[in-house]
Amino acid sequence: NIADAIATGFAVDYLTNPGMEAVWQHEQQLTAYALRRFAELETFRIVGPTDPTLRGGAISFTHASIHPHDLGTALDRLGIAIRTGHHCAMPLVKSYGHTAVARASMYIYNHEGEIDQLIDGLKQAEGYFSHAGSGARRS
């Protein structure tokens, strides 16, 4: 499997250049920023710890009345990619009382402006569903 071996080499070079400590610091800074921005949204809830030192660069969240799949579709139409569902962790997601969650992930190639776009997109989606009378359901 030569293609995967070559790709792995490029990935190692990509991460070695800044150094893993710099990669981790960037991820921690973005996560802290994202958590601060999410705190502005009254009807969204973070799943898991809100202390950025206790998590990595993936933030799962829910809305009080909009299903995660609907949020994913609305954000996709704005060019914002998130994941929705139980993320191969159904028992964990269910232990938090949800059948599905939305998840935003960030890494070395992301920046604060993209988090701002996510938060703005979530506000737009919330506005759409509150005006659409869509019968959006809780997860």
Q: Which of 2, 88, 113, 135 is flagged as catalytic?
A: 88
What are the respective helix, strand and coil percentages of the chain, to the nearest 5?
55, 15, 35
Q: Please state, in angstroms and rounded to a whole number, the distance separating the CA atoms of residues 110 and 30.
A: 8
Residue 134 known to be catalytic:
no
Integer angstrom CA distances of residue 19 from 12, 76, 105, 108: 10, 32, 20, 11
Q: Please state, in angstroms and rounded to a whole number, the distance separating the CA atoms of residues 123 and 41.
A: 8
Residues serving a catalytic function are 88
